[in-house]
């Protein structure tokens, strides 16, 4: 929850949930296991709220007999789920190789200049969110992009100008995203920022590591990689070793539960 | 000059195949009806096996044999159609989904019948929102026409098809990651074995087939296994949609017999731009190594691409002319794999970002002595020790262009005297 008061969106959430519940139940019924409906339910909430809010994740968890942590852990894996509010038009420009060798870099620079924001950022007026995304599978019509997931092909600066003007004027053909809360400067959460800048598993140089994984840019990671390269550290038959270990772990937990649920006593 | 042969692509761009009526006028759903009325599941499987059809998603595994891996003693099994097309340079499934949804659906139905599956799923890439909507509409049209649901064509056969949309993750194209995502989990690849044929969706035996693979079942049933097997090369049978892009004049999806030469493919796509010469071709998507001028007359099939040190993959054929900056291209693809790593395996998760950063230095002419050797060592180190093929996909393109265009890389290294103290 944000601050002391509750936002208008939060106040409206219970009513939205009741309105969407039948549709959620239909989605659940499409699958043989409940949890499979998690992605479709999140798509549905994002359609109505413009992003997948904490309330939506909690509601999904309760409908699917999951914990909110399981839901957030899943949602955070997927780049198309926004966990923070975004602009009315999410502009996702393809930076894939086929687009790149056909001039995508110039067009991305053009976008950044026209919008005044960069990768993963939202304009101050809340109209545009801008992202440079991986190959969109439309390489024959490079350079391409998506606006709120609708494809736009064969981009040119002129096409971009017309598009942005139409969006500002509210006359653009693709409907805007639902906007139930004002977006901040970026919709990515701290861990995602690191993904975006290539510091996925640990902190940037000189910054505390959020999960002490010892990854790129982290001193312990550099030491580890040097050791791997020098051949000091070998990789064993990871697959079978882990399979044995994992299956034993499962048995241990099951056994422990049978013996009175005290799993920590080993 | 080689011929483009329109089989799956017939009618695309000419007729509105999204309309079930139009699709039916062109013979649509006839094979589905014939399969139910006249053929046993084993007959369909046999036809597929005899046709020599191999998986069109990337691995090229014989489809009939894949189906035969399903344990015979388990009645519950699933067919999952993989439409998570995201391999850089591939755009054929995107086209089939949007332009020929009923053909894809008929293929799914035939595949389901062959393996006696009663609930099939299609996993559609999250970005294909429009394609998902089109496909859902096609399912409803087919349901209304009685082609799916209970007792199809008055038979004992029940079949349900559910479309499932992803939410942005390249890794979900890997079949076990796809199954996890379909189960509502993070799209992380599973430990194999067990393979999906033994324990797949919800722990039941499962076959995962690509969109194009399943769509080919329709013409194979119509025209016979021999018709398909007569085309192509010795071990790469039939037709394939090749997504040709990059520096050609007419990029697009071209359906050709396997074994068409690399040179012919470039010509089919309109050739290079005037005054340009060929630098390289990436013949099998972002995961594949480049081939060069000396490979132009090779037949484009699974075996010859492997022999040339690359692969046919999903049929993504990206052409690079002499204007290409291969340092930037390598940085682009390494960044892609680093971004798409699910993070489970340390070599892939860390190695990808490591290499991306080294390449970023090079792109900005700030390489330091030893960088190229480091790229070689790191890419070799991280290959072959990951759960899934993503980590192993980083090396091939980089290695091939680093060797061939070594000067482009070497000139980005700062000389000793210009290095910061």
pLDDT in tens, chain A (266 residues): 445 578 999 999 999 999 999 999 999 999 999 999 999 999 999 999 999 999 999 999 999 999 999 999 999 999 999 999 999 999 999 999 999 999 999 999 999 999 999 999 999 999 999 999 999 999 999 999 999 999 999 999 999 999 999 999 999 999 999 999 999 999 988 655 444 444 444 333 333 333 333 344 444 455 555 555 666 554 443 333 333 333 333 334 444 445 544 433 33
Q: Which residue has the higher pLDDT, B117 or A236?
A: B117
Question: CATH number of the domain that B397 lies in?
Answer: 1.20.1440.230
Residue B10 included in any domain: no
Same domain, B280 and B331: no
Domain containing B125 equals 20-229
Q: Is residue B9 part of a domain?
A: no
One domain, residues B126 and B220: yes
Listed by number, the residues of chain B in 349-368 with a beta carbon closer than 8 Å to a beta carbon of chain A are 349-351, 353-354, 356-357, 360
Segment B214-235, tens digit of pLDDT: 999 999 999 999 999 999 999 9
Among A98, A215, A221, beta carbon nearest to B246: A98
Quote the minimal CA–CA distance from B296 to chain A in Å. Answer: 20
Contact B183 A101 (CB under 8 A): no
Considering the domain architecture, whether residues B80 and B122 belong to the same structural domain is answered as: yes
Say if residue B261 is in the same domain as residue B378.
Answer: no
Segment holding B244, helix H or strand E = strand B239-246
Distance from CA of B348 to the nearest CA of A (A): 11
Report residue A122 CA to chain centroid gap: 15
CATH of domain A89-169: 3.40.30.10
Rounded to the nearest angstrom, the gap between the alpha carbon of residue A167 and the centroid of all alpha carbons in its chain is 24
Q: How far is CA A222 from CA A231, A238, B350, B375, B394, in A?
A: 14, 22, 10, 15, 20
Which residues of A, range 128-157, sit inside 8 Å of B by Cβ? 134-142, 146, 149-151
Query: Do B61 and B199 lie in a common domain?
Result: yes
Structure confidence at residue A235 (pLDDT): 45
- For residue B249, give the CATH number of its domain: 3.10.20.600
| pLDDT tens, residue by residue, B96-113 | 999 999 999 999 999 999
Does residue B269 form part of some domain? yes
Residue ending a domain, choose from B183, B204, B229 = B229
* B419 — pLDDT class (breaks 50, 70, 90): low
User: Phi then psi for B221, rounded to 5 degrees?
Assistant: -70, -35
Q: Are residues B75 and B216 in the same domain?
A: yes
DSSP 3-state of A131: strand
Residue B144 has pLDDT above 90, yes or no: yes
Total count of domains within chain B: 3
- B287 to chain A: closest CA residue: A97
Has residue B14 been placed in a domain? no
Chain A within 8 Å of B373 (Cβ-Cβ)? no
A 79-108 residues with CB < 8 A to B: 79-81, 95-98, 100-102
Q: Is the ipTM of this complex over 0.90?
A: yes
Domain shared by B183 and B266, yes or no: no
Interface residue A33 vs chain B (CB under 8 A): yes
Do residues B110 and B191 share a domain?
A: yes
Which of B244, B371, B381 lies closest to B316, judged by CA?
B244
Q: Which residue, B229, B258, B274, sits at the end of a domain? A: B229
- The verdict on B243 and B219 lying in the same domain is no
Residue B97 near residue A138 (C-beta atoms within 8 A): no
Nearest-angstrom CA–CA distance, B117 and B157: 9
CATH topology classification for A8-75: Arc Repressor Mutant, subunit A (1.10.10)
Give the burial string for A227-256 (b: 16+ CB within 10 Å, else e): ebeeeeeeeeeeeeeeeeeeeeeeeeeeee
Is residue B211 domain-resident?
yes
- What's the whole-model pTM score? 0.89
Inter-chain residue contact A242 with B94, CB threshold 8 Å: no
Query: What is the rounded distance in angstroms from the CA atom of residue B195 to the CA atom of residue B198?
Result: 6
User: Tokens standing for B8?
Assistant: 């799956």
pLDDT at B329: 98
Interface of B with A in 1-60 (CB under 8 A): none
The verdict on B259 and B407 lying in the same domain is: no
Q: B337 and B283, same structural domain?
A: no
For the segment B38-53, what is each residue's pLDDT rounded down to a tens digit?
999 999 999 999 999 9
Task: For residue A199, list chain B residues with Cβ-Cβ distance below 8 A.
Answer: 353
Domain ranges of chain A: 8-75, 89-169, 199-261
At residue A73, φ and ψ (nearest 5 deg) are: -60, -35
Residues 299-318 of chain B with CB under 8 A from chain A are 316, 318
Residue B291 shares a structural domain with residue B368: no
Residues B44 and B79: beta-carbon distance below 8 Å? no
Query: What radius of gyration do chain A's Cα atoms show?
Result: 23
CATH number (domain holding residue B197)? 3.40.50.11540
End-of-domain residue from the set B210, B229, B248: B229
């Amino acid at each position: 929850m944000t601050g002391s008061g509750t936002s208008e969106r939060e106040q409206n959430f219970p009513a939205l949930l009741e309105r969407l519940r039948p549709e959620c139940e239909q989605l659940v019924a499409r699958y043989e296991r409940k949890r499979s409906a998690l992605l479709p339910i999140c798509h549905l909430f994002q359609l109505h709220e413009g992003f997948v809010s904490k309330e939506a994740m909690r509601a999904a968890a309760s409908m699917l007999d999951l914990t909110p942590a399981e839901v957030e852990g899943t949602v955070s894996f997927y780049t198309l789920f926004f966990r923070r509010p975004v602009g009315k038009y999410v502009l996702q420009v393809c930076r894939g190789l086929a687009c790149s060798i056909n001039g995508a870099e110039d067009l991305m620079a053009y976008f950044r200049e026209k919008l005044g924001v960069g990768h993963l950022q939202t304009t101050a007026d809340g109209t545009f969110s801008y992202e440079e995304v991986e190959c969109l599978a439309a390489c024959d019509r490079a350079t391409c992009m998506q606006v709120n997931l609708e494809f736009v092909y064969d981009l040119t600066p002129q096409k971009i100008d017309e598009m942005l003007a139409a969006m500002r004027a509210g006359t653009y053909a693709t409907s805007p995203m639902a906007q139930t809360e004002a977006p901040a400067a970026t919709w990515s959460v701290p861990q995602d920022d690191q993904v975006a800048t290539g510091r996925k598993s640990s902190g940037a140089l000189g910054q505390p590591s959020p999960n002490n994984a010892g990854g790129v840019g982290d001193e312990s990671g550099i030491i580890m990689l040097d050791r791997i390269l020098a051949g000091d550290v070998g990789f064993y038959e990871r697959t079978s070793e882990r399979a044995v270990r994992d299956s034993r772990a499962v048995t241990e937990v099951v056994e422990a539960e049978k013996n009175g649920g005290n799993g920590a006593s080993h | 000059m080689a011929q483009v042969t329109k089989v799956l692509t017939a009618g695309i761009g000419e007729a509105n195949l999204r309309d079930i009526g139009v699709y039916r006028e062109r013979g649509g759903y006839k094979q589905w009806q014939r399969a139910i009325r006249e053929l046993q599941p084993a007959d369909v499987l046999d036809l597929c096996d005899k046709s020599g059809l191999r998986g069109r998603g990337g691995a090229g595994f014989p489809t009939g044999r894949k189906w035969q891996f399903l344990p015979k003693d388990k009645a519950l099994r699933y067919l999952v159609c993989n439409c998570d097309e995201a391999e850089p340079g591939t755009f054929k499934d995107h086209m089939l989904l949007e332009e020929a949804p009923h053909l894809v659906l008929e293929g799914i139905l035939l595949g389901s019948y062959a393996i006696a599956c009663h609930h099939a799923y299609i996993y559609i890439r999250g970005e294909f929102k429009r394609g998902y909507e089109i496909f859902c509409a096609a399912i409803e049209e087919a349901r209304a026409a009685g082609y799916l649901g209970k007792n199809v064509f008055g038979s004992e056969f029940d079949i349900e098809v559910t479309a499932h949309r992803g939410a942005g993750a390249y890794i979900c194209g890997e079949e076990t990651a796809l199954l996890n995502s379909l189960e509502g989990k993070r799209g992380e690849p599973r430990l194999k074995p067990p393979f999906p044929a033994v324990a797949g969706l919800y722990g039941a035996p499962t076959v995962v087939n690509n969109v194009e693979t399943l769509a080919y079942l329709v013409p194979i049933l119509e025209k016979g296994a021999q018709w398909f097997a007569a085309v192509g090369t010795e071990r790469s049978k039939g037709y394939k949609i090749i997504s040709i892009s990059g520096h050609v004049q007419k990029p697009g999806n071209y359906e050709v017999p396997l074994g068409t030469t690399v040179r012919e493919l470039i010509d089919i796509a309109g050739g290079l731009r005037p005054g340009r010469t060929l630098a390289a071709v990436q013949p099998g998507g972002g995961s594949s190594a480049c081939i060069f001028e000396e490979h132009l007359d090779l037949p484009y099939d699974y075996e010859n691409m492997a022999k040339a040190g690359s692969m046919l993959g999903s049929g993504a054929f990206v052409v690079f002319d002499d204007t290409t900056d291969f340092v930037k291209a390598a940085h682009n693809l390494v960044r892609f794999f680093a971004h798409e790593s699910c993070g489970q395996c340390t070599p892939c998760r860390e190695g990808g970002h490591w290499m991306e950063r080294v390449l970023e230095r090079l792109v900005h002419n700030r390489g330091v002595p030893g960088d190229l050797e480091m790229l070689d060592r790191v890419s070799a180190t991280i290959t072959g020790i990951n759960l899934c093929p993503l980590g192993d996909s980083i090396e091939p393109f980089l290695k091939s262009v680093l060797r061939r265009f070594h000067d482009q890389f070497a000139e980005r290294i700062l000389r000793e005297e210009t290095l910061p103290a």
